Amino acid sequence: MALAILKHTRTRKCGETNPIGEFLSRLSANGSRPANAAEKKSAIRPAIRKMTVVPMIAATYFMVAGGPYGLEDIIQKTGYRATLMILLITPLLWSVPTAMMVSELATAIPEEGGFYVWVRRGMGRFMGYQETWLTLAGSVFEMALYPNLFVDYIGQIAPGVVAGNRGLAIGFAMIALCTAWNIVGARAVGDGSVFLNVALLIPFVALIVFAMFHAHTGTAIAVPLRHADLLGGILIAMWNYMGWDNLSTIAGEVANPQRTYTRAMYGTVLLVVASYFLPVVAVARTGIDPNTWTTGGWVDVGRFIGGEGLAIAIAIAGVIGAVGSFGALMLSFTRLPSVMAEDGYLPKIFARRGARTGAPWVAILVCALFWAICYPLGFERSLILDVLLTGLSILLEFWALVALRIREPNLARPYRVPGGTAGTILIGLPPLALIVAALVRNGTELIGNTNELVIGIGIIAAGAGMYFVSQVIRKKKSA
């Protein structure tokens, strides 16, 4: 169907109107700013220190990965050889297409708000609103996870420190620390992410070195897997490769975004794949039974290979990963309320920015307060909710990529997905297939006694309702 539409679009004679282009133009009428909107906004914002390539790679790494934590279940479900294949194949089906999409849109429309602006401009205000709603709704579950991980890894080093209500207080302290870090500005988050990346990855470099000289136990291949699940491993890997679009929301705080985004995207892809692949290769060489892997298993593996010192270092790296991921994602998510306020969907106070840092400090404080309220509820990361909310928001971005190719063929694109409009359609098919597979396979998962799919559909429906409510409020304000 998509290719038929494409063929129809291409074969119209000169001078004839394009019905698809007209439809998309009507759909997004009043939904896109003038071409110079980004310049108008930057003119009224204070001059700030902007992020460059290396800090962007570091921040994106924390948004996507935050270390090889989370791979334990893949190893347990599929074994070492299949895990290594999955870690190489999944980026080709998920990460590279997403990085290509982000590179084209971020360099063509380098505006604050990123994917919200892309979808609004390509598909209209309603879809732009849903893009933001899906992202912020998903953040409730994601951002409540990292303070809990932070406390859990501290507990592996010093259980007494987090006993009782002290653990809860430590989690709140972590949220406060990341809030202060973000108020200092995007450049501070990027620079800090570089140092945190180094500190995070050093223990895993040590793990690789120790594993190369560790005696082989001879059990990894001989022992059959008790929880073999190849598709489950692929879906967990997809989950661990999400987040490539998140840094697009700070385009107004990036130096030379037309060049920086493409370099940052592909640099981060290489860093993430290497930080996933190499530690697994090294541990596989030791012959540790994959059936023994559990969540948090990197600490136990470090203890087995390098002793207690390496185990403590890996646990500390887990603490660093939680801080880095929470701080970097806060950087991304808090720009959305700020831009939504500028568009009239939220009170104007959310658009206030620091005079010297350019950080939307009101949006940062309100989001931090909201996530702090959710943190004690103990949300666990849900595959189905992530796929429904985050996955659907990413699909909207792929569809906006196609819509903008049709609607604005002459838009300057410093980076272009190869293959014309057909190429933009084709790169969106592998992510779509993975999302459908995840929904089919895990559609019966529960949160308490409620089906996660039902919860996700309810959240999506609420987004549509909130849009129409916001439209009524906007009309009353302008009357």
The total of structural domains in the chain comes to 1
Q: Is residue 157 part of a domain?
A: yes
Cβ(28)–Cβ(122) below 8 Å? yes
Cβ(360)–Cβ(338) below 8 Å? yes
Q: So what's the pLDDT on residue 228?
A: 65
Q: Is residue 347 part of a domain?
A: yes
Q: So what's the pLDDT on residue 477?
A: 75
Q: Is residue 228 part of a domain?
A: yes
Q: Is residue 251 part of a domain?
A: yes
Q: Is residue 71 part of a domain?
A: yes
Please give the chain's pLDDT, 479 residues, in tens: 443 433 333 334 344 444 444 544 444 444 444 444 444 444 445 567 789 999 999 999 999 999 999 899 899 888 999 999 999 999 999 999 999 999 999 999 999 999 999 999 999 999 999 999 999 998 888 898 899 999 999 999 999 999 989 999 999 999 999 999 999 999 999 999 999 999 999 999 999 999 998 876 655 444 556 666 777 788 888 889 999 999 999 999 999 999 999 999 999 999 999 999 999 999 999 989 898 888 789 999 999 999 999 999 999 999 999 999 999 999 999 999 999 999 989 999 999 999 889 999 999 999 999 999 989 886 666 667 777 888 899 999 999 999 999 999 999 999 999 999 999 999 999 999 988 888 887 777 777 788 888 888 999 999 999 999 988 888 777 76
C-alpha distances in Å from residue 21, one per residue of 2, 5, 18, 96, 337: 14, 11, 5, 28, 30
Q: So what's the pLDDT on residue 14?
A: 40
Domain that holds residue 341: 18-440
Q: So what's the pLDDT on residue 244?
A: 94
Q: What is the CATH number of the domain that holds 183?
A: 1.20.1740.10
Q: Is residue 455 part of a domain?
A: no
Cβ(361)–Cβ(353) below 8 Å? yes
Q: Is 353 left (phi over 0), alpha (psi -120 to 50) or beta?
A: beta
Q: Is residue 466 part of a domain?
A: no
- Residue 293 gets which letter from DSSP? -
3-state secondary structure of 249: helix
Cβ(322)–Cβ(447) below 8 Å? no
Q: Is residue 406 part of a domain?
A: yes
3-state secondary structure of 214: coil
